[in-house]
């Protein structure tokens, strides 16, 4: 079982870490430009896209869980139908996003009081990057399908190549063309479509030799479509609640001023790196949980859960040590501005302890997704948001300032892991008796 987990987890870790590392490269490039407002603009613009794209994370998560269960029951045709349903949703959703881009940006900047310059450059960034939406959402569906088929190698290739292209385009637009946040956004658009082309090729390669006819009526069969939307709607609501928490964090950071916003944005990059790393084991647990739920194999399901936590917490412990020992050198990569660096060091302890605390809810998320226990995930997220995160912030922030914001977020992650642990027996373990 350890070998199966690592076979899926290691490629996932590599591909996952390339995503926040790319964001970190963007932050580092912009952080060394002349105006500090560029860094704030990337933070605010990135937050808006996190809200949008994380909201559509169901295209990957739901597709993984359903495809993995089809894989466990040896139903290749249905797994292909699941991919097509996901791609149709991705196409329709991306068109809607592009059409409504000015409404989205208007509401976002109304909610976030980030200052005139930051809002100006964040708007430039947003209205360019939004045109990457069709490619981004389609790649979510492709990644979910590959992972459900127990294939972590192709998503790794697709993600790494896309992110390398993104860095290359950003360096070209910023260093050679003399652009700023507009260059970062344009680089993302160019890299996303090239990544989608690569993903389409990888799907075509995986289908060679499989003589399975696509049943168009089965793709749109109401019972299956209803199941797909029910699962994905629950994940959508759960993800929106999570995004709200992080967006609320960024918005309150912006209200505290440019320095706090910049420092918190850098530290949040480290949180993201940590989460994507541990998510490698969560994704492995997701794929294998779906497989054994589909096959009705309780013994291996229990082994997947146990070993996923072992590897996830172990990896989180390693990250704690790295963040603790190399705190200042790591932060110095992101900015050369002394005041921002000193402020980030004050709040760095919250980032140092996060990997172990957060690993519990990350691993449970993967297991619940694989079991398609979406309603329990949704409810747990909403309960912890309303009972812990928001009340703690409003009680603590007036007393201890930015530390209160970080403490509220930390308790929110801890309480999620605890509640999911209580819900697991009913919603995961009893799925297979």
pLDDT for 55 equals 74
pLDDT for 35 equals 66
Q: For residues 308 and 282, is the Cβ–Cβ distance under 8 A?
A: yes
pLDDT for 320 equals 94
Each residue's pLDDT tens digit, 328-347: 898 888 777 788 888 999 99
Break the chain into its structural domains and give their ranges: 2-431
Using a pLDDT cut of 70, give the percent of the chain over it.
91
User: What is the C-alpha to C-alpha distance for residues 159 and 316, in angstroms, rounded to an integer?
Assistant: 22
Asked whether the predicted pLDDT for residue 290 surpasses 90, the reply is no
Asked whether the predicted pLDDT for residue 25 surpasses 70, the reply is no
94 compared with 30, residue with greater pLDDT: 94
User: What is the C-alpha to C-alpha distance for residues 272 and 307, in angstroms, rounded to an integer?
Assistant: 23
Each residue's pLDDT tens digit, 248-273: 898 888 888 888 888 898 898 888 88
Asked whether the predicted pLDDT for residue 279 surpasses 90, the reply is no
Q: How many CB atoms lie within 10 A of CB 432?
A: 18
Question: What tokens does 146 get?
Answer: 């590959």
pLDDT for 212 equals 66
Out of 50-54, 203-207, 363-367, least confident range: 50-54
Radius of gyration of the chain (CA): 21
Each residue's pLDDT tens digit, 195-227: 999 999 998 888 776 766 766 666 667 666 777
pLDDT for 18 equals 61
State the alpha helices, DSSP H only, in 32-152: 36-55, 58-72, 76-99, 101-111, 116-129, 133-148
Q: Any idea which residue has 């297979």 for tokens? A: 432
Q: Any idea which residue has 């373990």 for tokens? A: 429
Asked whether the predicted pLDDT for residue 96 surpasses 90, the reply is yes
Each residue's pLDDT tens digit, 378-407: 999 999 999 999 999 999 999 999 999 999
pLDDT for 107 equals 85
Q: Which residues of 277-305 are buried (b: 16+ CB within 10 A; e: fewer)?
A: bbbbbbbbbbbbbbbbbbbebeebbebbb
* Stated pTM of the model: 0.76
pLDDT for 21 equals 58
Question: What tokens does 347 get?
Answer: 């709040």
pLDDT band at 117 (very low <50, low <70, confident <90, very high): confident
Question: What tokens does 87 get?
Answer: 């791609």
Out of 41-50, 88-97, 184-193, least confident range: 41-50
pLDDT for 23 equals 60
Asked whether the predicted pLDDT for residue 13 surpasses 90, the reply is no
Q: For residues 12 and 284, is the Cβ–Cβ distance under 8 A?
A: yes
Q: For residues 402 and 262, is the Cβ–Cβ distance under 8 A?
A: no
């Amino acid at each position: 079982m350890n070998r199966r987990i690592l076979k899926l987890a290691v490629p996932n870790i590599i591909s996952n870490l390339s995503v926040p590392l790319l964001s970190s490269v963007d932050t580092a490039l912009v952080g060394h430009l002349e105006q500090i407002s560029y860094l704030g603009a990337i933070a605010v613009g990135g937050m808006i896209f996190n809200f949008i794209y994380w909201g559509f994370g169901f295209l990957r998560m739901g597709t993984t869980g359903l495809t993995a269960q089809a894989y466990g029951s040896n139903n290749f045709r249905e797994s292909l139908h699941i991919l097509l349903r996901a791609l149709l949703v991705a196409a329709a959703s991306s068109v809607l996003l592009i059409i409504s881009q000015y409404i989205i940006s208007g509401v976002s900047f109304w909610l976030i009081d980030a200052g005139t310059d930051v809002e100006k450059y964040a708007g430039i960034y947003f209205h360019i990057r939004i045109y990457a939406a069709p490619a981004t959402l389609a790649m979510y569906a492709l990644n979910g399908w590959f992972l459900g088929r127990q294939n972590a190698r192709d998503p790794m290739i697709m993600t790494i190549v896309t992110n390398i292209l993104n860095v290359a385009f950003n360096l070209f637009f910023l260093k050679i063309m003399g652009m700023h946040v507009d260059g970062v956004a344009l680089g993302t658009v160019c890299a996303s479509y090239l990544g989608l082309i690569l993903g389409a090729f990888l799907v075509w390669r995986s289908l060679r030799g499989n003589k399975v006819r696509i049943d168009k009526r089965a793709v749109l069969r109401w019972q299956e479509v209803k199941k797909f939307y029910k699962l994905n709607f629950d994940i959508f609501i759960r993800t929106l609640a999570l995004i709200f928490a992080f967006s609320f964090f960024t918005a309150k950071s912006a209200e505290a001023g440019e320095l706090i916003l910049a420092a918190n944005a850098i530290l949040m990059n480290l949180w993201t790196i940590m989460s994507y790393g541990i998510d490698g084991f969560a994704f492995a647990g997701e794929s294998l949980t779906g497989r054994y739920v589909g096959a009705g194999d309780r013994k291996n399901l229990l082994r997947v859960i146990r070993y996923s936590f072992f590897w996830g917490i172990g990896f989180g412990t390693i990250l704690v040590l790295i963040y603790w020992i190399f705190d200042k050198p790591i932060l110095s990569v992101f900015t050369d501005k002394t005041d921002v660096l000193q402020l980030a060091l004050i709040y760095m302890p919250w980032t140092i302890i996060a990997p172990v605390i957060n690993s519990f809810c990350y691993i449970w998320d993967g297991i619940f997704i694989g079991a398609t226990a979406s309603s329990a995930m949704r409810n747990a997220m909403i309960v912890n948001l309303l009972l812990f995160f928001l009340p703690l912030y409003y009680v603590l922030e007036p007393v201890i300032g930015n530390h209160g914001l970080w403490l509220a977020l930390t308790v929110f992650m801890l309480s999620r892991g605890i509640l999911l642990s209580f819900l697991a027996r009913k919603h995961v373990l009893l799925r297979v008796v």
